């Protein structure tokens, strides 16, 4: 689908001598993230580019300074950014079964209190939305999801936990996500899934990929 809205400003800054960060000066939206994906696809064809790492409203690229220069790549990025954007087709839909609350979601009541909602309404709002995987980061298979209901936006915990169980589903600010591996973390934990998000022996090793659509499905308690 053609998107004719003018692109926001693309800010480009160096990261050392062999990398650049291209960042969107604008709100975090699916349209902006689709532009980031499109920028990455275009830069992948530019000589001297070694690697591309999409983030939330940004793209980091590494390059070989013996074959190209930062200024050349910055010009290429701005030229690609100015091209008409085409909405990249979204990927498959993945349903994630979730056990909400209790030992699996110890922060659910705190999230409900912060949002001024009862627990059932938090679960309803969390499960009724369709989310899109914006990018994978932090851990192998950790999907940053766009689409969280604004009423559920909740700050991260003041004191992060030293150990968050694998499969935990949390809210951190305006985002929701799933911890694929046990790790320290500061997101508000509202539930947990038994699905494996990362398997190094599988191909692909991650359950989710950028552009996939995600729905959370509440399991009976």
Model pLDDT for residues 90-117, shown as the tens digit of each residue: 788 999 999 999 999 999 999 999 999 9
Q: Where are the alpha helices (DSSP H) in 59-176?
A: 70-81, 108-115, 119-128
The model's confidence at residue 2, banded by pLDDT at 50, 70 and 90, is very low
188-192 and 183-185 strand pairing: unpaired
Mean pLDDT over residues 71-88, rounded? Answer: 86
Query: For the whole prediction, is pTM greater than 0.85?
Result: no
Residue with tokens 């009862």: 118
Strands 9-14 and 2-3: unpaired
Domains, the chain: 2-86 (3.30.1360.40), 93-218 (2.40.100.10)
175-198: average pLDDT: 95
- State pLDDT tens for residues 142-180: 988 989 999 999 999 999 999 999 999 999 998 999 999
| Composition of the chain by helix, strand, coil, percent to 5 | 25, 35, 40
């Amino acid at each position: 689908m053609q998107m004719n809205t003018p692109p926001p400003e693309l800010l480009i800054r160096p990261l050392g001598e062999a990398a650049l960060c291209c960042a969107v000066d604008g709100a975090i939206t699916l349209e902006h993230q689709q532009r980031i994906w499109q920028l990455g696809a275009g830069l992948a064809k530019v000589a001297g580019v070694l690697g591309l790492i999409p983030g939330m409203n940004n793209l980091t690229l590494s390059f070989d300074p013996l074959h190209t220069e930062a200024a050349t790549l910055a010009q290429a990025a701005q030229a690609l950014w100015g091209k008409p954007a085409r909405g990249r087709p979204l990927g498959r839909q993945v349903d994630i079964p979730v056990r909400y609350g209790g030992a699996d979601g110890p922060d659910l009541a705190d999230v409900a209190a912060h949002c001024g909602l009862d627990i059932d309404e938090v679960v309803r709002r969390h499960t009724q939305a369709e989310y899109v995987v914006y990018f994978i980061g932090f851990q192998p298979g950790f999907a940053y999801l766009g689409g969280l209901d604004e009423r559920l936006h909740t700050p991260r915990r003041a004191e992060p936990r030293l150990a968050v169980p694998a499969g935990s589903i949390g809210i951190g600010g305006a985002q929701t996500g799933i911890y694929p591996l046990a790790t320290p973390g500061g997101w508000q934990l509202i539930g947990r899934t038994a699905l494996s998000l990362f398997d190094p022996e599988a191909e692909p090793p991650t359950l989710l990929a950028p552009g996939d659509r995600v729905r959370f499905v509440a399991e009976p308690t």
